[in-house]
Amino acid sequence: MDSECPVCNHSFDDGPSSRLGRTLSIANDDDVVDKDLTLVSCPSCGTLLSEDADDGFSLETEAAGGEPRQFAHFELQRVLGQGGFGTVWLAKDTRLDRSVAVKLPVRRRGTSKSLVREAKTAAKLQHPNIVTVHEVGEFEGQVFIVCEYVSGLDLRSYLSKGLPPQARVVDLLQGIASGLHHAHENQIVHRDMKPGNVLVDDAGVPLVADFGLAKVVSVEESISSRGKVVGTILYMAPEQAGQEVDQVDRRADVYAMGVMMYEMLTGERPYRGNVQAVLHQKSNEDPTPLRQLRTSVPLDLETICLKCLQRAPGRRYQTADEFCDELQRFKEGKPILARPVSRIEKAWRWCQRNRMTASLTTLFLSSLLIGLAGTTTFWLEARKQTLQANRSLYASQMSMAASHLGVGDIEATRSTLDRYNTTGLKYLRGFEWRYLAAKLNRFEAVTQHGRRVKGLAVSRDGDWWASIADDRFLRVFEFESAKSIREIPFHAGRWQAVAISHADNRVAAGAKDGSVYVWDSISDESKLPTIFKHGVGVQVVRFSGDGKRLFSSGASGAVRVWEVGTWKLVSEIPTGREGLVALDASFDGSVLATIGSEGVIRVWDVDAKNMRFAIRDGRSIQSVALSPSGDRLVAGTRGGYLLMHETIDGTPLFNLNTRFDWISGIRFLGKSSLVALCSSKGVVAIFDLETHQEISDIQTHYGVEGLLDVSKNGSRMAVGSAKGILRTIDTSDFQRALMIGSDEPIFDIDFLSSQEAVATYRDGSIKKLNFEKRTVDLLFKSSDRRPMVSASEQNSVVAIGSAGLPVQLMSSSGKSVATIAELDVDEMTFSQSGKLLIISRSGGPIVGYSIDLNRKQVAKELFSLALPVESDISEQPKVVALALSGDSQQLAVSFSHQQIRVAELSRLEWQNARIALDASGESLVMAGDKIVVGTRGGEVICFDQSAMAELWKIKAYVNYVNDLIRIPGGNAIASVGDSNAIAIWDLENGDSRIRLHRDEHQLFSIAASADGSTMLSAGIDGDARIWRTEH
């Protein structure tokens, strides 16, 4: 298929052979997200083009070689920004010889004319606080919009430097309001006001940008179908976020200014959470008063801001000019016109938002006047509604807490969980709360150091750490409390590297002026540091493990080796002019590994000054660590590969492709075979170098580069991020594996004990997994590709049914304890006590066996239940799933003809009532008086067992529900399906509580421990993962 490049007009074949997949980081107003694109490189000019699903190719943000590109009469020089709307370039207008901003919108079918029309309308706006549109046109099918180039920052970047003074906030808002009022008077509503669409020039004047564009973008891209907050939903007025387009007018822009004002005064946004949470809050809750977050906010400014944020448009300022005048009254010390909301009005609004509760309360009070006859009924109904509301709110809060933890926001996660530490709400806490709390317990302290952490080192015993950032301070913190111990400024430049000796806790710091400072005791401020000159600006410092040597390196030139104490230069390693990315030394300092800026590892004999070998992997190597013995090195690449080589001759030991995009730091955990990796996904992962497997992970930061260091024995770790956040972590439980991997998909998994599981693999093998010892043992190898397996944690026994063979009962040691003469088994399940095993023969009866390992006859037949006769079908349906009640008195059976029947085992009779499904029930749970089924159609449905009536139904997956379990000790169920997450649902109402993500592929099976403290999951990628709620 032929396409034409929009830059050079060259025609070329864009067939499959010329395409490549690529993930780009796309920045929006509040976040950075990864987006998978199909890219095509123009063979003529080298421009990268992205394929649009509707309209072919559009100009991408990168061009080969970084050279300017010609587009129409503009020379595109560099990308200023990119988002869902398209790309903004700094360009030179070759006709008028001036710098301009050229916007190239992403092509969408049927929007070109609308874009041109709206942009031409915006071009009529001429105002000191509006970015001027110079030109609008179309070139080779690509719409372009030319605006004036504003040298400065957008308001989002401006605010990232810290909260501006309140007087400055007022000035900025008045300028923004003035520009918006001018637009409104010209019948133009912005509809996409947010900090990213306000530019602050070098003189501090705010200019509103992107007029006429938001109307197209906001309708199509404000809310993602996957339920994530993107784009401008946080700044949209309730009527706009609800897509009530006919009600959106200039007052929507006033609301957005209120959100911006709230953020500029407090540093917080009025609403937080995912789309559902934000929309619910906007429609039902008032924002927290500003003075509760920051007491320094004047009452009048709080009143003005909250008036802008009124849900009803008629209660806001009706024009931006009214808002501007109100701010002017505040500046001049005059009384403002707006008034705070009274308590009576707040109560009335609460009643309007909570009509059910208010109505029930009113009825209850009325009934007291009439009599006490109906009091009990009303009270119980009110209590029921309150309990349901609490359950729904809890589910929403847990989902929000998981979202906070997923982006490394530890403080917000802890704040959300703490709400359920109160006596009245503790009863709601389930597996998800305990799991998130256990994750938080690993973190000992959190603090902030500048905007970007550039260096980090942990003391020998892990009781304190030192860090440097972009604020010219070397700071020392206590490990457990993050209390600042000492701050050391560098007035002549800045610190660029820091290291701590694990022999005697000496601290070394490298400076930009080429000096190295060493403190023998960092806590004694009376002792001056030893200072010596390295040469060029010092980029890396590192002590040998025995503390006898210090290595220093600059942006170029040799690595210098210093004798600790005398500080004599004992060796120079000629690493070349390229400069170093990282280095590490053996325990005695005799072996040195360096990474050059070109991504090559070189290993040196320090005393001989000879290079032993170089590793040119073809990928950009970013991090390196030498084992405590010095005989092996481990390295991480930008592409997420983990390499290990011998340091004697460079013999490669393994080359592992991890699930990460970038490994930015590596450290050995003491003398063990475990290493900690810091990734660009914000995850610190623990790998076992003996098994070549990831065994644990923890979310520490989000979407940015990270760095880490550990104490001498590896029990304590500090992690810093490019956003300036420092976190300390207790690694004592990292040796307890969280996952055990394999190359074979796992079809089924179940508990054998609290630390052991039995897994069924695609090749027919059944293996025992020990998460404490990180071992895998073969229990049974079946010729059947899909043997039937059921395990009991209570007696540590597993039942195995294979085609043409009797059912085998095996102990956790792999010893056969009984043989049951049942062939061609459809389904099996143990009771909760493990004393009853139910086996469904293919086409035959359902048989129950009592299991007693202390009895000579371990398995004894108790009953045989004939399958129900179905008169309306010719063939006997197949049993698809079994579920026993908690007391083992009832058995629910899902059949292949899309029906569920319940049998009374005490009478060996089938109940007359049945459940009819639209799709086959693939998994089944009996939970008290409820039956929950997961269907082949992707639905999870809950029924009342006595009436067989549907209580709730959710579309959980696109297709299959692969497995469904009840979590003991809580009123919740968990499911897996055609996705990569475990979903936990409230059993009472079906609310989603949390989705636990880890694997990148579909999950097939889950299991819960008998006490409900732990879950297992496994799937197509062969990884078995354990989810613990205890630290």
Give dist(CA 507, CA 479) in Å, integer: 16
Listed as own residue / partner, the contacts of 983-989 with beta carbons closer than 8 Å and 24 or more positions apart are: 983/956, 984/430, 984/431, 984/432, 985/940, 985/954, 985/956, 986/391, 986/392, 986/395, 987/927, 987/930, 987/932, 987/942, 988/388, 988/391, 989/388, 989/391, 989/392, 989/952
Residues annotated within a binding site for ATP:
103
Give dist(CA 325, CA 315) in Å, integer: 17
Give dist(CA 519, CA 530) in Å, integer: 7
Report residue 289 CA to chain centroid gap. 29
Q: Which residues pair with 837 in a beta bridge?
A: 830, 849
Side-chain-facing half-sphere of 152: CA atoms under 13 Å: 22
Copy the structure tokens of residue 307. Answer: 């008036």
Report residue 917 CA to chain centroid gap. 35
In contact, 699 and 405? CB cutoff 8 Å: yes
By C-alpha distance, which of 609, 599, 601 is closest to 644? Answer: 601
Phi-psi region for residue 95, left (φ > 0), alpha (ψ -120 to 50) or beta? alpha
Report residue 604 CA to chain centroid gap. 40
Query: Residue 589, Cβ neighbours under 10 Å: how many?
Result: 25
Amino acid at residue number 1019: G
CA distances from 221 to 31, 238, 243, 369 (A): 15, 16, 12, 54
Give dist(CA 483, CA 239) in Å, integer: 46
Copy the structure tokens of residue 105. Answer: 């919108």
Beta strand pairing status for 693-699 and 74-82?
Answer: unpaired
Q: What is the DSSP letter of 164?
A: P
Give dist(CA 229, CA 697) in Å, integer: 26
Query: Residue 847, Cβ neighbours under 10 Å: how many?
Result: 19
Give dist(CA 498, CA 475) in Å, integer: 10
Q: What is the DSSP string of 965-993?
A: EE-TTSSEEEEEESSSEEEEEETTT--EE
Residues annotated within a binding site:
103
Give dist(CA 420, CA 394) in Å, integer: 8
Give dist(CA 191, CA 193) in Å, integer: 6
Copy the structure tokens of residue 222. Answer: 């404000």
SS (H, E, C) 281-350: HHHHCCCCCHHHHCCCCCHHHHHHHHHHCCCCHHHCCCCHHHHHHHHHHHHCCCCCCCCCCCHHHHHHHH
Query: Residue 703, Cβ neighbours under 10 Å: how many?
Result: 17
Give dist(CA 70, CA 283) in Å, integer: 48
Please identify which residue in the block is written with the tokens 């300022």: 317
